[in-house]
Amino acid sequence: MKGKIWILIVFILSCVTLLISLKLFWNMGIYVDEYNSSPSRVYGSEFWLYMAWIRIILLALMTFILGIKLIRK
């Protein structure tokens, strides 16, 4: 039971973090569209844009894996 509580806490935190990251990425997309800029200019370079994508993918994977662990236990 104690392990399940920790998994639940980490799952909730990862969900919140994923939602915040997605909202920031969405807002960046709106800014880029309205001011005719590019995402790589907003993030500083292509490298940081790819890091933003990787962060979102890793957060989604972590949330998915924790959700599965939470259901199985």
Q: What is the mean pLDDT of residues 6-11?
A: 93
Tell me how far apart the alpha carbons of residues 30 and 11 are, in angstroms, rounded to a whole number: 29
pLDDT digits (tens, 9 = 90+) for 39-72: 999 999 999 999 999 999 999 999 999 999 999 8
Q: What is the mean pLDDT of residues 3-31?
A: 95
Would the pLDDT of 24 be above 80?
yes
Structure tokens at 3: 């392990």
Three-state SS for 22? Answer: helix
Instruction: Tell me the H-state helices in 1-73.
Output: 2-34, 39-43, 46-72
| Mean residue pLDDT across the chain | 94
* pTM (predicted TM-score): 0.87
Residues 6+ apart with CB under 8 A from 63: 11, 14, 15, 18
